Amino acid sequence: MVVWRSLVTAGLATIALGIGLSSTTAEVPAIAERQKNERKDFTDAEISDGFIKTAFGAEYDLAGHVDRIRKYQKPVRIFVKGVTSPDRRKQLADVVSDIDRRIPNIDIAMANKLEAANVVVTFVNDRDLDSSLRKFYGAEHARAIRKALNPQCLSGFRKNGKYEIEHSEVILTVDNGDFIFLDCAYEELLQSLGPINDTRSIPWTMFNDDVSMGFFDVYDQYLLNILYDPHIKAGMSADEVRPILPKILPDIRSTVAKLNNLPNIESVPSK
């Protein structure tokens, strides 16, 4: 894909990967079991730590390490191309609707035309993933990505000089089963919105290569609602963000509690 390769050439691309609750996810037994056992009570320190670790840096950054907040400052519109798969398109639309509902401060929806989209999702068959990586990133970067990450799905974005995300690309395989598709769809779409750094030090987030969720879990709702809180601006450093977190966490907790029918607890003491 010429446009994405040009992002890499320009040194502006940051990418993430994963094996990656709507009615779609509830129908998958592996996801239903994870939702049943999901942890939902977190301390302020656990939430803040996870946000700092996922919102700054990147698991695989073609432009070099960046320690700044990256986020969309405009409506997000998603277009699907590639392998024709009506069922997967419906599942993806359900995922997008779920994300829109659970992050009140973001405007995210499907687009009917490529020209109207700033997030492009490409559906591929698993056997074509390697050739798609070469097409998107070029042979050299594709080999490096495969060696370092061995992905089953991938996402990346281009940011401007203000660290505002301008365009994202997501690659999803459609023939690896419902669980992997939904896990990938949630993780890669959410990472394409900004929190692109995977970390194995946080056991409750889908942005951990050792964790597979398949749905938009409570912990990650905290992280994305912090990122898209109006007080958190693109381009902020970690030192600028840290003193803001205690001020906005009560509202974030209230929002997540209402969205998930949880008790509204303003603050949970550190354990």
Spacing of C-alpha 40 from chain mean position:
19
Q: Cβ neighbours of residue 110 under 8 Å, at least 6 residues apart?
A: 77, 78, 79, 80, 92, 93, 96
Residue 95's φ and ψ, nearest 5 degrees, are -60, -45
pLDDT digits (tens, 9 = 90+) for 74-115: 999 999 999 888 999 999 999 999 999 999 999 999 999 999
Residue 214: Cβ within 10 Å count: 28
- Could you tell me which of 117, 115, 20 has the C-alpha nearest to residue 72? 117
Average pLDDT over residues 149-172: 86
Most confident of the ranges 2-11, 33-42, 151-160: 33-42
The pLDDT of residue 3 is 28
More confident of the two residues 25 and 223: 223
Say if residues 80 and 89 touch (Cβ distance below 8 Å): yes
| Whole-number Å distance between alpha carbons of 271 and 248 | 21
Query: Can you give the length of the chain in residues?
Result: 271
Task: Give the largest CA-CA distance in the chain.
Answer: 51
pLDDT band at 124 (very low <50, low <70, confident <90, very high): very high
- Residue 225's Cβ-side half-sphere holds a number of Cα atoms within 13 Å equal to 24
The sign of the dihedral angle between the CA atoms of 79, 84, 90, 96 is negative
CA distance 221 to 36: 17
Fold of 2-260: Collagenase (Catalytic Domain) (3.40.390)
Per DSSP, the three-state class of 125 is coil
The whole-number pLDDT of residue 271 equals: 57
pLDDT of residue 18: 43
**Taking Cα atoms as reference points, which of 189, 262, 228, 171 lies closest to residue 51?**
228
User: Is 190's pLDDT higher than 60?
Assistant: yes
Which segments of the chain are extended strands (E)?
13-18, 60-61, 76-82, 108-110, 119-124, 153-159, 165-173
